[in-house]
Chain A
Amino acid sequence: MESVFQIVLAAVTGCFLVCILRKYSPEYAVSVTVCLGIFILVSLLKEITEIKDFFSSFSEYGIDSEWLKSIIKITLICFVGQWGSGICSDIGEKSISDKIETAVKITVIIMCLPYIKEMLQFVSVLE
């Protein structure tokens, strides 16, 4: 709850600062944008860990949480990747932004490979 207020306050202040700095020193404006992004992500780390721990606790109730962990991992990888890609776009590095997105896609595909393999094992049922 508090972190949301912190994030919003920091983001609004940062936006004002970026607007002012962009007129006089654009390179500092970019640095402020990047720092603001890092601050927001670090502020959310605690919440993200809480979510992860919550779903991990499912195994205590006899529920297989491995599937959930995988989905959460994929979602977080995409979230972080999109965040990095967004910052690169803000700086004006569209090429690096695209590469980050490609890296995220490849990572997700690699994470899904065991599940594709598991699906293929069902072919033996058809024999």
Chain B
Amino acid sequence: MKKIILFIAVTFTAMWICVGATGEFDGIDQINSFGTAQEIIDGILSGSLELNGSNMADNFFSLIFSTLKSDIPMIVSLISCGLVLALAENMRFMGDTGEIAVLGGKMIVAVMIMTPAVKVIQKAGSTLESITKFSTLFMPPITTLLASCGAQTTATVLSPSSVLISTVLINIISKFVFPLTVSGLAVTLCSGCIKRFGGITGLIKSLTVWTVGIVFTLFSGIIALQGIVSSVSDGMSIKGLKYAISSSIPIIGSTVSESASMIITSAYYLKNAGGIMGIIVLLGICLAPLIEIMCFYFALKITAEIMNVFSNGNTGEIVKNSAEYIKLAGIALLGVAVIWFIFLGLIVASGGAV
């Protein structure tokens, strides 16, 4: 029996590791210096894998600096455009043509900001798709492992929760919050050119902030509550099972009961290993886009501050307000990642009442 359960557990674990190694999740490769998941497993089996933190740290910092470096041309272009716009703003005393020069310049600056900003938000959207794909592959084996270690109630309760997170939450973020962020960004940039959209900008911003706040509070609350309730039920059912075995089977009842405990403990270790690996994979999927968003946000902030030094008009303010929307997109992505971390943490923590 023990061998059969172990065989099933190992088969399921190996199945999702192999599926994960097919290159579906490219984000993790950017911080992982040891190759694909398949290569890591080969390295472990052959004993050639040297796991040291310095390689990972080097890759992590090189990812941050390469992202910042790739943003430098945009910063320089924006600052140069800001300089020329400042000159055009000084031409305003000449009449209407100066005004139209500033308006045209601001329109170009708006497109300059919008192009990379939309790319960053689209990348955040594709990261959410990757998380959905990962959850589709990861949840069936981890739920089986969870059930095999005696946490049937937790498995039953958390399985619909995972569907809820991967469909409802991710759909709300990718189909509502991200488009709202892009719209807000567009309206902010337009309001920089024509100062009549101030009210709409504020409305879209507060709508985005409230949606993100409500959705994440609701989901984290539901998951935490489900985890607490189901773990109590699991503990009771395992104790009941052990008592039933030891009291109903004559002579060898207690031995069988202890053997069952051993099997459940083995499955528990496997489930924990799977859960922790899930957290690491999720970190790998989310880290690169999050760093990209963070670097882009800081690049825009720095540009805005430099532009404010020489610009009399609101060009610096346009860039500064745009950065706020990039921050909102980053917060939404980070929120989804945090919800998944809590969820996987619950899976790792549950099923230990043997």
CB within 8 Å of B: which residues of A? 55, 58, 61-65, 67-68, 70-72, 74-75, 77-79, 81-82, 85-86, 101, 104-105, 108-109, 111-112, 115-116, 118-119, 122, 125-126
Indicate whether A71 sits within 8 Å of B111 (C-beta atoms), given known contacts A64-B77, A81-B97, A101-B97: no
Residues of A within 8 A of B91 (CB): 75, 78-79, 82
Residue in B76, B87, B91, B108 whose Cβ sees the most chain A Cβ within 10 Å = B108
Say yes or no: A118-B115 contact (C-beta < 8 A), given A72-B84, A75-B87, A75-B88.
yes
Contact A108 B104 (CB under 8 A): yes
Q: Which residues of A contact B50 (CB under 8 A)?
A: none
Taking the nearest CB of chain B, how far is it from the CB of A42, in angstroms?
19
Of B77, B88, B97, B122, the contact of A105 (CB 8 Å cutoff):
B97
A75 to B108, CA, bound (A): 12
The 5 closest A-B CB pairs, nearest first, are A78-B101, A78-B97, A74-B104, A126-B179, A82-B94
B80 at the interface (CB under 8 A from A): yes
Contact A67 B77 (CB under 8 A): yes
Residue of A nearest to B101 (CB): A78
* B112 located at the interface, meaning its Cβ lies under 8 Å from any Cβ of chain A in the complex: yes
A119 with B96, Cβ < 8 A, contacts A63-B73, A67-B108, A78-B88 known = no
With most chain B CB atoms within 10 A of its CB, the pick from A58, A81, A111 is A81
Q: Is the CB of B101 within 8 A of A64?
A: no
Least CB distance from B353 to A in Å reads: 49
Known: A75-B84, A105-B96. A126 touches B182 (CB 8 A): yes
Main secondary structure of the interface of B (DSSP, over half): helix
Inter-chain contacts of A85 with B (CB < 8 A): 95, 97
Contacts of A63 in B (CB 8 A): 73, 76-77, 80
* B101–A75 CB distance below 8 A: yes
The answer on a CB contact under 8 Å between B108 and A70 is: yes
Interface pair A112/B107, CB less than 8 Å apart: yes
Interface status of B345 (Cβ within 8 A of chain A): no
Distance (whole angstroms) from the CB of B8 to the closest CB of chain A: 44
A125/B98 contact (C-beta < 8 A), A75-B88, A82-B91, A115-B111 known: no
Complex Cα spacing A116 to B111, Å: 8
- For B77, give its contact among A58, A72, A112 (CB under 8 Å): A58
- Please name the residue on chain A nearest to B115 by beta carbon: A118
Interface residues of B in 179-204 (CB under 8 A from A): 179, 182-183, 186
B173 in contact (CB, < 8 A): no
Check B76–A108 contact: CB distance below 8 A. no
A71 to B77 CA separation, bound complex (whole angstroms): 11
Q: Is the CB of A104 within 8 A of B100?
A: yes
- Tell me whether A115 and B76 are in contact (CB under 8 A): no
B84 and A126 form a contact (CB under 8 A): no
Q: Which of B81, B95, B118, B121 has the most CB of A within 10 A?
A: B95
Alpha-carbon distance A116/B186, docked complex (angstroms):
12
Taking A75-B105, A108-B101, A122-B182 as known contacts, 14 extra A-B pairs with beta carbons closer than 8 A to each other, sorted by chain A number, are A58-B77, A70-B108, A71-B84, A71-B105, A78-B91, A86-B94, A105-B97, A108-B100, A109-B100, A112-B108, A115-B110, A118-B114, A119-B110, A122-B114
